[in-house]
Amino acid sequence: MTAPIALTIAGSDSGGGAGIQADLKTFSALGVYGASVITALTAQNTRGVAGVFDIPADFVAAQMDAVFSDLAVAATKIGMLSRAETIEAVASGLDRHAAKNLVLDPVMVATSGDPLLRPDAVATMKRLLIPRALLVTPNLAEAAVLLGTPLATNEAEMGKQGEAILSLGCKAVLVKGGHGTGPHAVDILVDRGGLRRYPARRFDTQNTHGTGCTLSSAIVAGLAKELPLADAVAAAKDFVTGAIEAAHRLSVGKGRGPVHHFHARWPKA
């Protein structure tokens, strides 16, 4: 049996809950072989980010060349890129290797509130990466920053912001409602065919570290397994919901703990 291969291009979370670590855990939990390109190192735990060290852009490019020249990558997730030079290197590498099934998670701020993308890099991301993406997955705050508008406060506004981001050149946008309010966390998928709604129960928990990374990498895992995009989003939403519901079983750290990537595989006791 040959496992499908997915690649994550993202930052490292030393606490293990988000970034590269969350992506690789998600790929493994979903039966996909994971490769990685590390764009930045963070000194991070459940309570916050103490420091960020950017990997030189030429070495990011070297990692991409090493992976794509040898592995048959079926889908790629792009996460934390931090600065414009890294974004430029990643965009060039994607073109150089004709990468497919690109999912862009426009990581700007950690769950703790610490910034992870320099303000001057937002325009570079919009210009170079959004047009190359099959799917862009902003949360409410990221969608507002990308568009220079206030946060969406309801599903209609989320849909309109998704359509505005779609006009930047990507194939589809998933506006995530996890940071909203109400009994259900609703994500809105917008593509050329219209809007789809993905609701899930909202849990009263602080253990949501890495939720966005996990969702986008779960979508990439589905795409690597050749699921249609809408089905990959639905499967990823179910996976993340289960990971949030089971997060209390981990008891990791003293702050905002991680979701439980292996909730379906580890024993409950």
* Band of residue 217 on the pLDDT scale cut at 50, 70, 90: very high
Please work out, in degrees rounded to the nearest 5, the angle formed at the alpha carbon of residue 21 by the alpha carbons of 15 and 26.
130
Q: Which CATH number fits domain 5-249: 3.40.50.2000, 3.40.50.300, 3.40.1190.20, 3.30.300.30?
A: 3.40.1190.20
pLDDT at 91 over 80: yes
Q: Is the pLDDT of residue 247 over 90?
A: yes
198: β partners? 187
- Confidence (pLDDT) at 110: 67
- List phi, psi (to 5°) of 246: -95, 0
Task: Give the residue from 26, 17, 234 showing the smallest Cα distance to 6.
Answer: 26
- How many residues does the structure list for the chain? 269
pLDDT, tens digit (0-9, with 9 covering 90-100), for 35-90: 999 999 999 999 999 999 999 999 999 999 999 999 999 999 999 998 999 999 99
Q: Over 90: is that where the pLDDT of 261 sits? A: yes
pLDDT confidence bin for 267, thresholds 50/70/90: confident
Q: Among all residues, which ones are annotated catalytic?
A: 176, 208, 210-213
Given a cut of 90, whether residue 108 has pLDDT beyond it is no
Domain boundaries, the chain: 5-249
For the residues 98-108, what does the mean pLDDT come to? 95
